[in-house]
């Protein structure tokens, strides 16, 4: 029997977990409480496994959405993934969240700019082609730099002011799905793109907001 695999998506205020075997998705569990990943994640995983007669040792792979996203959500998911890797021998795959979101774009969007982490005048974004492959690498860009990529659609929430210069996709598409983490993670696993449980880390492209606020009020921390 094909071994089971788990996908975790906790980069937003809520999140979800998907359980599957091979290409088949068995079930999805939504984390319903905002910013309560530390309370809901392990019970959701346990419930999914029990409902399908599985134990942690039965999991072969874990696919993890790496961010950027919720600082706490990413840390909770990472700690959970490392625990399963070290205690049960589960193999880990990290999946960039921009790639996950790109899967939400409609088929008629041929060049999609996917955006995360808007702050002041820049947003972290990448361009994806019609097959949802990278056409321009992720980077912090201004609105003008984003539009210079010549997307025919932009996905993200919130977004920088784009006036009427490009099609903006509905905000409800800007929520990453654990099912897409599963599909992308499985494809990376087939390429042996395993992550080292000792070194895997969330993708942060800015310092935490609390650090920024502290430095603005008190000056940079002395080292």
Cα 195 to Cα 212: distance, rounded to the nearest angstrom: 30
Q: How many CB atoms lie within 10 A of CB 130?
A: 14
Q: Cite the residue boundaries of each domain of the chain with CATH code 3.30.420.40.
A: 4-97+175-218
Q: How many CB atoms lie within 10 A of CB 107?
A: 6
Give the pLDDT confidence of 167-186 residue by residue, as tens digits. 999 999 999 999 999 999 99
pLDDT for the residue 37: 62
147 has a pLDDT exceeding 60: yes
Name the percent of the chain lying above pLDDT 90: 78
pLDDT for the residue 27: 97
Domain 105-173 annotated CATH 3.30.420: yes
DSSP 98-124: HHHHHTTS-TT-SSEEEEEEEETTEEE
pTM of the model: 0.90
Least confident range from 35-49, 120-134, 155-169: namely 35-49
211 has a pLDDT exceeding 50: yes
Cα 151 to Cα 23: distance, rounded to the nearest angstrom: 31
CATH of domain 4-97+175-218: 3.30.420.40
Q: Any idea how long the chain is? A: 223
Mean pLDDT of the chain: 91
pLDDT for the residue 209: 62
pLDDT for the residue 221: 54
pLDDT for the residue 223: 45
Residues forming a β-bridge with 63 = 7, 93
């Amino acid at each position: 029997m094909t071994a089971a695999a788990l996908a975790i998506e906790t980069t937003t205020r809520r999140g979800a977990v998907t359980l599957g075997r091979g290409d088949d998705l068995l079930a999805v569990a939504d984390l319903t409480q905002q910013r309560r990943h530390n309370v809901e994640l392990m019970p959701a995983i346990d419930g999914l496994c029990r409902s399908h007669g599985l134990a942690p040792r039965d999991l072969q792979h874990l696919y993890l959405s790496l961010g950027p996203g919720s600082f706490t959500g990413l840390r909770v998911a990472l700690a959970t993934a490392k625990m399963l890797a070290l205690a049960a021998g589960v193999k880990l795959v990290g999946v960039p969240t921009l790639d996950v979101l790109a899967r939400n774009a409609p088929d008629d969007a041929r060049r999609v700019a996917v955006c995360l982490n808007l702050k002041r005048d820049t947003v972290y974004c990448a361009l994806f082609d019609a097959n949802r492959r990278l056409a321009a690498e992720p980077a912090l860009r201004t609105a003008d730099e984003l539009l210079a990529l010549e997307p025919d659609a932009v996905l993200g929430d919130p977004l920088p002011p784009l006036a009427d210069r490009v099609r903006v996709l509905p905000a409800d598409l800007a929520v990453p799905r654990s099912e897409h983490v599963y599909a992308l993670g499985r494809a990376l696993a087939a390429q042996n793109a395993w992550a080292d449980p000792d070194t895997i880390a969330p993708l942060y492209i800015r310092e935490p907001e609390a650090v920024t606020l502290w430095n603005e009020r008190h000056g940079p921390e002395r080292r």
